[in-house]
Copies of this chain bind each other. A is one copy, B any other.
Amino acid sequence: MELGDSALTIAINAVMSLTAFFLCLNIIPKFKEMFLQANLCGIDLNKQNKTKIPEALGVVCGAVFLCTMFLFMPIPFYKQLAENTPGKFPHHEYIHFLAALLSICCMVFLGFADDVLDLRWRHKLLLPTFASLPLLIVYFININATNVIMPKQLRWLVGEDLNLGPLYYLYMGMLAVFCTNAINIHSGVNGLEVGQSCIISISVLIFNFTEMQGGNRLGHVFSIYFMMPFLAVSAALLIHNWYPSRVFVGDTYCYFAGMTFAVVGILSHFSKTMLLFFIPQVFNFLYSIPQLFHFVPCPRHRLPRLKPDLGKLDISYSVFKTGSLSRLGQFFIQLYSFFGVISVQQGVGEHGQYTQVNNFTLNNFMLRILGPLHERTLVIILLFIQIIFSGVAFIIRYQLAKIFYDH
């Protein structure tokens, strides 16, 4: 495959992505009634109007994405397919497409099952791990690069590069689980899940097009093939999911998006750069840890709550009996208070026996700093932060890396 060829296939992929965009834009409203009848719906907790809103419409995006990719898959191989000389077909390239789509399809399925059935945590961790197995095997047989290049400053200690071996596979497996869940927990205001995914995919595309002339051309072209249709179906969903949401995206979308990023990062061999585009998600995850692991009580919903009189969103709280926390819980509260990243109020409740802290999410963190905000304003600010950190990611990747690595 030459560069001229990839330009043509990328153009075809772009046309198909555009078609997928209009298809999604058009069919999502048509599916609304079907989802309501299946009782796949929820009430927007942050609206005064309590109508039922169809949930898990991400499944439509996932299905359109899969169909687009099934149709597109033969195209990069059109020359070899036209010749079809036995033994000449580049199985090792085609296998990347199959493994990637298998993992993504599994996650769309798992996400939808989760939306319908409310799966337990163990299923949510087990199934992505299984689903990433074929991916890791393909990485093993085709790439199997498990060494991490060391920063100049550390080479006296461990040498030029460090071979992580099986640990590298563990890291990639965890990447798949992390990406799928990271988008899921950075949510709760209209348009945030899809909005952040759109920004991440645009950042990845900018990175791919920048690097396409470099050494890992095949990897970046592969990433473009997946990111363009993904961005297309996501953008269509965002239009329907934007404030005030007419549809919700569901866990389905979060899992679909997360796995697509993980797959592309792994198979195109830029998983560390991919993680750089997840800085807000990493912060949100680290900040959330005390609640995710239940050191501090975690209510079912941690999203900001509406102040009906103001028409604005304000911090939501976790309330617990004062002194009822475990040592680790107390430690985290003290640690976070020390750095001034949470609000703690003691002596609340009828007899003053309770303590309340804001829920540990980036949403609440922003509301703590900026005060009550309109929902649309909050989501715009959060997406703006995502863009800023994409810029930071590029600075780290291209400028800061010079300090640590020879280019």
Contacts and interface: CB of A to CB of B under 8 A. Distances in A.
A172 to B, nearest CB: 15
User: Assembly of this chain: how many copies?
Assistant: 2
What band does the interface of chain A fall in when counting residues whose beta carbon is under 8 Å from B?
35 or more
Contacts of A138: 98
A281 to B, nearest CB: 26
Interface string A194-207: 00000000000000
Nearest to A93: B91
Contact of A71 (B59, B92, B117, B130): B130
Given A92-B91, A95-B95, A140-B84, A117 B35 contact: yes
Given A91-B92, A95-B91, A130-B67, A137 B73 contact: yes
Contacts of A106: 66, 105
Contacts of A40: 116-117
A306 interface: no
Contacts of A396: none
A101 B134 contact: yes
Nearest to A108: B109
A7 interface: no
Nearest to A87: B92
Contact of A91 (B38, B91, B102, B105): B91
Contact of A70 (B80, B95, B105, B131): B131
A80 B142 CA distance: 12
Interface string A153-196: 00000000000000000000000000000000000000000000
A118 interface: yes
A66 B130 CA distance: 9
A160 to B, nearest CB: 22
Contacts of A63: 113, 127
B94 A94 contact: no
A131 B59 CA distance: 16
Interface in A95-136: 95, 97-99, 101-102, 105-106, 108-109, 112-113, 116-119, 126-127, 130-131, 133-134
Contact of A134 (B81, B98, B140): B98
A34 interface: yes
Contact of A141 (B34, B91, B102, B127): B91
A37 interface: yes
Contact of A144 (B84, B92, B109): B84
Contacts of A112: 109, 112-113, 116
A184 to B, nearest CB: 19
Contacts of A126: 67
A246 B33 CA distance: 31
A299 interface: no
A74 interface: yes
Given A102-B98, A102-B102, A141-B94, A34 B117 contact: yes
22 contacts: A34-B118, A63-B113, A70-B130, A70-B131, A70-B133, A73-B134, A73-B137, A80-B141, A81-B137, A81-B140, A81-B141, A89-B141, A94-B137, A94-B141, A95-B98, A97-B134, A98-B102, A98-B138, A101-B134, A102-B102, A105-B109, A112-B116
Given A63-B113, A94-B141, A102-B102, 16 more contacts: A37-B118, A38-B116, A39-B39, A59-B113, A70-B130, A73-B133, A73-B134, A73-B137, A84-B140, A89-B92, A95-B95, A95-B98, A98-B134, A101-B102, A112-B112, A112-B113
